[in-house]
A and B are shown apart, each in its own frame.
Chain A
Amino acid sequence: EAGVTQSPRYAVLQEGQAVSFWCDPISGHDTLYWYQQPRDQGPQLLVYFRDEAVIDNSQLPSDRFSAVRPKGTNSTLKIQSAKQGDTATYLCASSLINYAEQFFGPGTRLTVL
């Protein structure tokens, strides 16, 4: 069974540029999560979906970050006008049902210069 896949694996950009991250969850998993993991810290939940619906985006900086999962499968996280403080690894995870184990992808390591 294929795991959670993410792309790109690395991204380097200047402040003010935009970037998108893509996540393909495990087939059949209805719940998808995006986490931000700054260097030397634990992951922090940004947003999660059940199918195509956003369940909780309370920690997503809504002025510059957006996330979609239009068909309830793949998902895209976008940062408009990136800042140096956005430098982190962005992790995607998926789970089969509510309360179930989350399976994590390898992450996208973002550096904003």
Chain B
Amino acid sequence: QQKVQQSPESLTVSEGAMASLNCTFSDGTSNNFRWYRQHSAKGLEVLVSIFSDGEKEEGRFTAHLNRANLHVSLHIREPQPSDSAVYLCAVSGATGGNNKLTFGQGTVLSVIP
């Protein structure tokens, strides 16, 4: 069964500094990776979807995927206080099928002015 772990559990950065979040997964045949942001009492907002090794940029958000190392990361350039939220990594594909997202437990990001 797919296991997805995120680190750190919480992260505090100053406005404008780079924020880096990590996610490891257990099924090396997975082929769909997404990062979501969840503000309190709101639904999940997809930030970046990545399907092959390398880098994918969407505005200030960049995902890096290394399937050999079972690792995907998210880097947030010039974070703002409005980026303070829970960030969730989701993995799907291969044995679980592309519809079944397995989420990590989340990283709580706080951006201080």
**A contacts, CB < 8 Å to B:** 3-4, 9, 31, 33, 40-45, 48, 55-56, 91, 93, 95, 98-99, 101-102, 104-107, 109
Contacts and interface: CB of A to CB of B under 8 A. Distances in A.
Contacts, number: 53
A101 B105 contact: no
Interface string B66-108: 0000000000000000000000101000000011110111100
Given A40-B105, A91-B44, A106-B41, A99 B49 contact: no
A98 B99 contact: yes
Interface residues of B, number: 21
Contacts of A4: 43
Interface of B: 4, 32, 34, 36, 41-46, 49, 88, 90, 98-101, 103-106
B103 A44 contact: yes
A-B interface, 8 closest residue pairs, ranked by CB to CB distance from nearest? A42-B103, A104-B43, A99-B98, A104-B44, A106-B43, A43-B103, A42-B105, A105-B43
B99 A40 contact: no
A91 B43 contact: yes
A31 B44 contact: no
A42 B104 contact: yes
A104 B45 CA distance: 7
A31 B99 contact: yes
Nearest to A92: B43
B99 A55 contact: yes
A56 B100 contact: yes
Given A4-B43, A91-B44, A107-B43, A102 B105 contact: no
B64 to A, nearest CB: 20
Given A4-B43, A42-B4, A104-B43, A98 B98 contact: yes
B41 A109 contact: yes
B101 A45 contact: yes
A105 B43 CA distance: 5
A91 B36 CA distance: 14
A40 B106 contact: yes
